[in-house]
Amino acid sequence: MALPARLLLVDDEESNRDLFGRRLLRLGYQVEMAENGYQALEMLHSRPYDLVLLDHMMPGINGLEVLRLIREKWSASVLPVIMVTAIGESANVVCTLRLGANDYVTKPVDFPIAMARIETQLQLAFADREVRRAHDFYQLALRASEEGLWDWDFVAGKLYYSGRWKCMLGLSDDEVSGSPEEWFGRIHPDDRARVSAQVQAHVEGHTTSLATEYRMRHKDGRYRWMENRGSASRDATGQVIRMAGYQSDITARKTIDPVTALPNRTWLDQELGAIAAEGRRAALLLLDLDFFDRIEESLPSGGAIGFVAAVAARLRDSLGAMPGGVTAVVVRSGEHQFGVLLRDASGPGEARQLADRLQAALRAPFLIGEEPVFVTACVGIAVSYGDEPGDHLLRGANEALRHAREPGAGRCEVFQNTMRQQDLAELRLENDLRHALERSEFVVYYQPKVDLASGRIVGFEALVRWNRPGYGLVQPNDFILTAERTGMIVPLGRYVLERACRDTAELRRSFPGVGVSVNVSGRQLAEPDLVDHVRECLDSAGLEPSALRLEITETFLVEDPEKAFGMLSRLRGMGVGLKLDDFGSGYSSLNYLQRFPFDTLKVDRSFVSHLPESHESAEIVRAVTGLARSLNMHMVAEGIETQAQAEWLRDLGCHYGQGYWFSPPVELARLRELLERWPPTPMMHPPTRPEIGDSSPSDHLPNGCPDLFDGEACCRAAKE
């Protein structure tokens, strides 16, 4: 007795399913039912069926669309489909046959005719299946001379192998027992469970054939990549009695990069494991091409592939002879990353010398098409003395490479244990940072902004500090970059803006006219709801828009000028002030200043710190001051730390200043105290003209400006 055929009956009418289904079950068929096309497709993709009975008219996705999707995956000989359609719909019958239906029956169903058509299609499908199975075994026999043939007798519980199969693994006849456990035992532990599940799925009839890839242990202890194809033979009850197939060695295909013909990352992982198992010394260099994305965009279509291949060839040709029996192999370990594995290296010195040689070789231009392409590479080096796992060597080289990339292009670093400690510290920092907001660990400090002409505090800049448990008060330089990288800068920036608006609104009740500046990162500016969030903060705090000024870095303008213009224009339209931060230290052009709606320039502290002694800094600050005046913009100088700097900037015409000469950043309560008793002490000197070479201050400034105050006393008061 043959195994009952499994049929799928698809009809949206429950009465039709019950009536048709009961008739089929009484005839001995296995019948499963679907009430719509979506359910039918899901069932077809989850288990095999011998035939589908498919209703034409169904809500949602109709029978014709289901048929079309079936034929995209299964041919008419593999999965027969009989359409069920209404009498008189000859056009629909023609359409279904053209779409690939094997046959049709009409409603109301004439069951004897329907059963005859079902049996006919099943017989044709089973006959075709036997032909294909015979063809597969014939092909199997043809391949036996080249591939490793295997035959699994399920009744005897034994595997038989061809001579070629044993040769692939370096085994002789007496080294193979034929037990299934031995076969699975040779498969790599990381692949074993997957292969076992695939074999079981085929035995249970969930797949039409066995097709898998895995690593198998060679006699020399190394693993080779194998491809395995096979199929099962069953008895009359459907039980598997035999499974046979062939095994191919695909190590070259799995371990060689097709673009460069170099060993790939898979090969490197295997080789590092083998070196560690043998206890051999080794060094690994990882070379990452700098600015590869920019190079790729500049090349014509397909040019990047040729460029990578050219880099690979040059690296391979530049290895040269290695000293003391050291062997070197170049590997393509990533899209734009290469590795060099040095077997039996005595220490980092050999690897460092090779890195210098390879970096020098890459400096010569590559001719891709008609244009020369220049490239540099950062290098990370790690050394193993044969006493640690292979993945430690790769991890160390990656950590060294990461440290090499941080300062810039074309650098080389050798792994040190301190790097791993730094990475662990960075990981702890990131984890703590993610919890800091919910634990209310961030504190907003304020640094006064002083009108240099009158000496009054006119505002302040909001600066975040992190009260990190176990570390005390952490400065922004120690966590802002991590916040940017992880995206935490967005919720952190929102918190600072909300807090600054509330605090400023409270202070303005006692000190009308003061305003606040808040730094906004590029990540925040990329948020589509930034303008709405600013408006919500102002409304919630009851703060006038003119009391808020947002500080924007130059980098954001360069990355996406069009988006920046739209965002800043909307903010300026609300009445919020806009300050260009750190002017002169980045990429700003006069075009940006004319185009974007800034009302204030903030000159970078790197120029202020050298005043008034440096002629170059003085000329730059003088030029920025003149530029701000000509564009009718305010100017703020940050980082003022001496009385001489404050006086020089005041006499030059700089409007505002901030820095430790006036006050360090302080908490809200301390800021209120400063506002109440400011200024504490008059300055010693009245305004004078700066004396730097032949320079002189702008003639429009009055010589009778009020004196500034004693910065040292201010700093002492702020720190009390």
Tens of pLDDT, residues 155-212: 899 999 988 899 999 999 889 988 999 999 999 999 999 999 999 999 998 998 999 9
**Residue 536: per-residue pLDDT:** 96
Q: How far apart are CA 499 and CA 510, in angstroms?
A: 18
Distances (CA, A) of 325 to 8, 281, 340, 345: 67, 12, 16, 9
Q: Residue 423's pLDDT band (boundaries 50, 70, 90)? A: low
**Residue 678: per-residue pLDDT:** 81
Is it the case that residue 452 has pLDDT exceeding 50? yes
36 residue type, one letter: N
Q: Residue 139's pLDDT band (boundaries 50, 70, 90)? A: low
Is it the case that residue 614 has pLDDT exceeding 90? no
Instruction: Please list the residues that pair with 153 across neighbouring strands.
Output: 158, 242
Q: Residue 710's pLDDT band (boundaries 50, 70, 90)? A: very low
- CA triple 465-468-473, angle to 5 deg: 45
**Residue 77: per-residue pLDDT:** 87
- CA triple 537-542-548, angle to 5 deg: 60
Q: Residue 699's pLDDT band (boundaries 50, 70, 90)? A: very low
Distances (CA, A) of 130 to 120, 134, 200: 16, 6, 22
Task: State the alpha helices, DSSP H only, in 406-479.
Answer: 417-436
How large is the angle between the packed helices 390-405 and 417-436, nearest 10 degrees? Answer: 70
Distances (CA, A) of 629 to 192, 451, 655: 74, 16, 10
Structure tokens at 330: 């170049």
| Beta strands across the sheet bearing 51-55 | 30-34, 6-10, 51-55, 81-86, 103-107
Domains of the chain: 6-134 (3.40.50.2300), 144-253 (3.30.450.20), 259-415 (3.30.70.270), 442-719 (3.20.20.450)
Q: Are 503 and 535 in contact (CB under 8 A)?
A: no
Q: Are 235 and 214 in contact (CB under 8 A)?
A: no
Average pLDDT of the residues in 64-78 = 90
Q: Residue 59's pLDDT band (boundaries 50, 70, 90)? A: confident
Is it the case that residue 465 has pLDDT exceeding 90? yes
Q: How far apart are CA 53 and CA 114, in angstroms?
A: 10
394 half-sphere exposure, CB direction, 13 A CA radius: 20
Q: How far apart are CA 705 and CA 363, in angstroms?
A: 58
Nearest residue to 362 via CA among 384, 393, 340: 340
How large is the angle between the packed helices 63-73 and 37-46, nearest 10 degrees? Answer: 20
Q: How far apart are CA 482 and CA 488, in angstroms?
A: 8
Q: Are 390 and 278 in contact (CB under 8 A)?
A: no
Q: Residue 325's pLDDT band (boundaries 50, 70, 90)? A: confident
Average pLDDT of the residues in 556-579 = 84
Structure tokens at 499: 């807090």
Distances (CA, A) of 232 to 74, 154, 238, 439: 20, 10, 10, 61
180 membership: H or E segment, kind and range: helix 180-186
Q: How far apart are CA 17 and CA 63, in angstroms?
A: 15
Q: How far apart are CA 493 and CA 506, in angstroms?
A: 20
Structure tokens at 573: 């339209």
Structure tokens at 471: 């570390």
Q: How far apart are CA 506 and CA 514, in angstroms?
A: 11
Distances (CA, A) of 602 to 205, 460, 653: 73, 13, 14
Q: Residue 697's pLDDT band (boundaries 50, 70, 90)? A: very low
401 residue type, one letter: L
Q: How far apart are CA 5 and CA 429, in angstroms?
A: 62
Instruction: Please list the residues that pair with 377 across neighbouring strands.
Output: 289
| Chain Cα centroid distance, residue 577 | 35
Q: How far apart are CA 8 and CA 231, in angstroms?
A: 24
Q: Are 460 and 447 in contact (CB under 8 A)?
A: yes
Cis peptide preceding 687, ω within 30 of 0 = no
485-489 — which CB contacts under 8 Å span 24+ positions? 486/430, 486/433, 486/434, 487/523, 488/433, 488/434, 488/437, 489/521, 489/523, 489/524
Say which range, 91-95, 412-416, 452-456, 607-611, has the weakest mean pLDDT: 91-95
122 half-sphere exposure, CB direction, 13 A CA radius: 20
Say which range, 242-251, 326-335, 558-567, 706-715, has the weakest mean pLDDT: 706-715
Is it the case that residue 708 has pLDDT exceeding 80? no
Q: How far apart are CA 120 and CA 82, in angstroms?
A: 11
Q: Residue 661's pLDDT band (boundaries 50, 70, 90)? A: very high
Place of tokens 């231009």: 365
Q: Are 272 and 286 in contact (CB under 8 A)?
A: no
Place of tokens 């605090």: 503
DSSP 388: S
Please count the residues of the chain: 720
Say which range, 134-143, 348-357, 578-587, has the weakest mean pLDDT: 134-143
Q: How far apart are CA 337 and CA 633, in angstroms?
A: 48
Q: Are 542 and 487 in contact (CB under 8 A)?
A: no
Q: How far apart are CA 512 and CA 619, in angstroms?
A: 36
Q: Are 495 and 508 in contact (CB under 8 A)?
A: no
How large is the angle between the packed helices 561-573 and 530-541, nearest 10 degrees? Answer: 20
Q: Residue 589's pLDDT band (boundaries 50, 70, 90)? A: low
Q: How far apart are CA 123 and CA 114, in angstroms?
A: 14
What is this structure's pTM?
0.49
- CA triple 111-113-115, angle to 5 deg: 65
